[in-house]
Amino acid sequence: MSMTFSVSHEKIEMRDGKALLIYRPVASAETFEVNMSNVNACEVLRTLGLEAGYCGTVDPRVLASACEFALAGLASAPELDGEYPAMVTNTPNGGTIIDCGRSGGYLKMRITGLLKLANIAIKCDAVVTWA
């Protein structure tokens, strides 16, 4: 499973007499998405000080500030962004759990991508969503 972070516009639509908040992706030549596994996405969100849910939305200014703060922290303590080795666990009932791990510098790489996404969202007067 994976989570994709993207730039979206918020719009309130009425359906069956109920107001729904709808998110529509922004169509722009400079828009791109950041995709990562659920485990890694939740770790990145926790590193940013954001709620680590499987879906959400954030004001791009808040995200940009969190990214800049986290990148400064990782620059001063690079050991916090070290390699996480792959692991295979065999369960007692015969199942196998595989964690692919991640390479050193992964958090910095993904947070840098989210900072770029936040800056695009600011330019587009949009928000950053993930699911």
pLDDT at residue 19, rounded to an integer? 87
Q: By the 8 A CB rule, do 30 and 88 touch?
A: no
pLDDT at residue 1, rounded to an integer? 80
pLDDT lower than 50: segments of the chain: none
Q: By the 8 A CB rule, do 24 and 11 touch?
A: yes
Rama region for 10: left / alpha / beta (φ>0; ψ in -120 to 50; rest): beta
Cα(55)–Cα(88) distance, integer angstroms: 27
Q: Which helix (H) or strand (E) holds 72?
A: helix 60-76
The helix/strand/coil state of 33 is coil
pLDDT at residue 61, rounded to an integer? 97
Q: By the 8 A CB rule, do 128 and 58 touch?
A: yes
Length of the chain: 131
pLDDT at residue 64, rounded to an integer? 98
For 78-115, give the DSSP string. Answer: GGGG--B--EEEE-TTS-EEEE--B-TTHHHHHHHHHH
Beta bridge partners of 130: 5, 56
Beta bridge partners of 14: 19
